[in-house]
Amino acid sequence: MATEDRLPWEKQYGESRQAYAAFVIWRDMPTATRRVLTVAQQSKKSWSLMHRWHQRWNWDERSDAWDAEVDRQARQAHIDAVREMRKRHAEIGNMLVTKGAQRLIGSSRDGVQPINLGTLSAADAVRLIEAGVRVERISRGEATEVIRSASDIEEIVREIAEDQNLSPEESALVKQFLMQKNERVQR
């Protein structure tokens, strides 16, 4: 049993340096291979002494506490790594959006000429719309895939066509894209 102000895997009050050193051998062995005989051999002490120390100093309980602590630290390290990864990805995403926006609208400060929207193909325009919608939905915590009925898609295409003055061919491409996207979501 651990004393009040010492953690179970630390040297306990009254525990000799030799007894603690033997416990450390026990504690640091893989769980499945912990054997009193192995500790006795490694510490060059008798099996009976190691057995007494094992019982007297609660090696099983203390090593279980140690194993739980190591596991807790590993989980925390994983959580911290995921948090850092998400932060890095958000920063990279922000940089990519900034660079993409500079290319679309231009940046006199950086000497970047805007894209001539008149030279964009309908397929490129659809990809821009899709990317913009996806980024906005993700940033707002919304689903990125929404299942729509065919009549909903027709209405969306009509609105886009009117807003963007799309030709019938461009409207057909937008409709085809949205229908294919909707079919993938439904599968």
Q: Name the residue with tokens 């599968």.
A: 187
Residue ranges covered by each domain of the chain: 17-77, 116-187
Name the burial class of residue 145, with classes exposed (0-12), middle (13-18) and buried (19+) by CB atoms within 10 angstroms of its CB: exposed
Which residues make Cβ contacts (< 8 Å) with residue 93, sequence separation at least 6? 135
Q: How far is CA 150 from CA 54, 128, 133, 156, 187, in A?
A: 73, 22, 19, 10, 16
Would you tell me how many other CB atoms lie within 10 Å of the CB of residue 36? 19
| pLDDT per residue of the chain (187 residues) written in tens, 0 to 9 | 555 789 999 999 999 999 999 999 999 999 999 999 999 999 999 999 999 999 999 999 999 999 999 999 999 999 999 888 888 887 877 777 777 777 777 778 878 777 777 777 777 777 777 777 777 777 666 766 665 677 778 888 888 888 788 888 888 888 888 777 766 655 5
Q: What is the pTM of this model?
A: 0.55
